[in-house]
Amino acid sequence: MKIEGIDRLVIGVKDMDRALAFFRDVLGVEFTEVTGPAGELSGCRLAISLDMHLELLCPVAEPQQVTNPPDPLVLKQRLQDADAVLYALVFKVNDLDAATADAARLGVRVVGDRFSVPRNDQLRISDFAEVALGEADTFGIKMALAQYRRDPG
């Protein structure tokens, strides 16, 4: 497996509006708040800055389905004693199927379901797919692999 690099750090937050204001006003980071199936299924608000390699995730409702990534129940638990947590590290790969097969061959399990979206106009990406790796196999760090194409320009 060969990664392209870090796709994004996922930060779990208790208060999305406060976090968005902090990143915008203090650090100059603009996020796109994503609506659609990922947030609806997981019960989370989700904002992404692909250019800055950051994602904010905030549990706001009971999940319709426990998804992985994210696992909103684990995130909610981790946020009990903190306003924010570094939740996950997502690596970008060219070929998710090949990367997943390589991981399995090396004893690194994929956990949960593969999440796929054919097109996200908000983020201007196509063919998005992501899988989570088993934390027991990744030093206790929640990691995921993602594949997608960005629109030109």
Q: Render pLDDT for 1-56 as a digit per residue (tens, 0 to 9).
A: 899 999 999 999 999 999 999 999 999 999 999 998 888 888 899 999 999 999 99
pLDDT, averaged across the chain: 93
Rounded average pLDDT over 97-114: 94
Type of residue numbered 91:
F
pLDDT value at residue 69: 65
Q: Render pLDDT for 16-29 as a digit per residue (tens, 0 to 9).
A: 999 999 999 999 99
**Residue 122 pLDDT > 90:** yes
Q: Which of 121, 123, 102, 91 is closest to 5 using CA atoms?
A: 91
Radius of gyration of the chain (CA): 15
SS3 110: strand
Query: Which segments of 26-150 does DSSP mark as H helices, in order?
Result: 37-42, 72-78, 96-105
Contact 134, 109 (CB under 8 A): yes
Counting every residue, how long is the chain?
153
pLDDT value at residue 60: 92
pLDDT value at residue 41: 83
Query: Which segments of the chain does DSSP mark as H helices, in order?
Result: 16-25, 37-42, 72-78, 96-105
Q: Which range is least confidently modeled, 11-15, 46-50, 104-108, 110-114?
A: 110-114
Domains of the chain, earliest start first: 3-150 (3.10.180.10)
CA distance 134 to 9: 17
pLDDT value at residue 4: 95
CA distance 134 to 143: 8
Q: Render pLDDT for 58-97 as a digit per residue (tens, 0 to 9).
A: 999 888 876 666 778 888 999 999 999 999 999 999 999 9
